Amino acid sequence: MIVGSLSENKKIENRVAMTPDVVKKYISLGLKVNLTKDYALHLGIKDKDYELEGAKIFSSNHEVISNSNAILQINIPDEENLNSLGEEQILIGVLDPFLNEKKLKKITQKKVKCFSLELLPRITRAQSMDILSSQANLAGYKAVIESFAFFQKAIPMMMTAAGTISAAKVLVVGAGVAGLQAIATAKRMGAIVFATDVRLASKEQVESLGGKFLVVEGAENLETEGGYAKETTQEFKKKQEELLTETLKKIDIVICTALIPGKKAPVILKKDMIEVMQSGSVIYDLAASQGGNSELTKVNEIININGVKIMGESNILNKLPVSASNLYAKNMYNFINNLYDKEQKNFKINLEDEIIEKTMVK
């Protein structure tokens, strides 16, 4: 069996699905590896580094596709490469079946087996494959670093002979993996941290990291069985808005991380709420690519509203591509390891396996 990976569109994606150390693991597993020329040169990784671990380099994406059983990607390939896939080939990546429904339906009708890793179930056995957690961890960290760079005051409290500088106050909206990492990072850098989430189970995690959890009066635990946030009621939204409006008056930096898989991001920060913030404050919206948690967020732009800067990038992980690629490649290898039948030496689509059944695009 041969696994291959195509170069991503560098205009939108700097990460790669395979690193040299993971190629070595695939070879040890009994698989062969095909890659396109200059696959990760933009990350400082030469083709020779991959070849030393046993990978074969081809001059075009088409050659990789026609000589591989499975194609491993970050994002869904473009139309041309997608249409080159044939019967019984396998495509694995973050395929976003909600957004790419028509494209995926077209190739699944050709009997191409597609697996979308963001659909992995939240079970213990799938933790080593969980690309949402590994990537969100880095995103939460980087969002704090980026927002602090734009904030024009010191972050920790500083006592000097000339006077005392107060610590910056940070609010993290959404206490999932990205939010918890943002809380930990901001706290380590000396900020006073507040957090809010619709899942009451997050309270203990937030407080264990030194943050103060803001509880909406009469809140119930809005959490799915899979551990994700549910959509909230209108009554809850109104109470949440009132609490946040009062809180935002004293907040310097807001990190927005609230997302519902497969849906538009919930709008939590309304225009009138942002207008009560102090001039010089910063909002970093990690949900920008899905519409944003702030009503005023614009993708890949910095908006200035009465001195409040609102930042939203389509892919913050492009600023940490080496670390993000290392983690993603390991997640992908663990998924392949589960899919590959070592005795039969082929890929086994066992739909009784929850991991395979949940991630397969039907």
Structure tokens at 36: 């396109």
323 part of the active site: no
Amino acid (1-letter code) at residue 242: E
Closest alpha carbon to 257 in 152, 149, 185? 185
Which of 5, 7, 130, 134 is flagged as catalytic?
130
Which of 68, 73, 133, 294 is flagged as catalytic?
133
228 part of the active site: yes
Question: Buried b / exposed e across 194-214, counting CB within 10 Å, b at 16+?
Answer: bbbbbbeebbebbeebebbbb
Q: What is the 3-state secondary structure (H, E, C) of the chain?
A: CEEEECCCCCCCCCCCCCCHHHHHHHHHHCCEEEEECCCCHHHCCCHHHHHHCCCEEECCHHHHHHCCCEEEEEECCCHHHHHHCCCCCEEEEECCCCCCHHHHHHHHCCCCEEEEHHHCCCCHHHHHHCHHHHHHHHHHHHHHHHHHHHCCCCCCCEEECCEEECCCEEEEECCCHHHHHHHHHHHHCCCEEEEECCCCCHHHHHHHCCCEECCCCCCCCCECCCCCECCCCHHHHHHHHHHHHHHHCCCCEEEECCCCCCCCCCCCECHHHHCCCCCCCEEEECCHHHCCCECCCCCCEEEEECCEEEEECCCHHHHCHHHHHHHHHHHHHHHHHHHEECCCCEECCCCCCHHHHHHECC
* Under 8 Å between Cβ of 15 and 8: yes
Which of 66, 84, 122, 353 is flagged as catalytic?
122
* Under 8 Å between Cβ of 253 and 191: yes
278 part of the active site: no
d(CA 68, CA 89): 8
5 part of the active site: no
133 part of the active site: yes
Q: What amino acid positions are annotated as catalytic residues?
A: 122, 127, 130, 133, 228
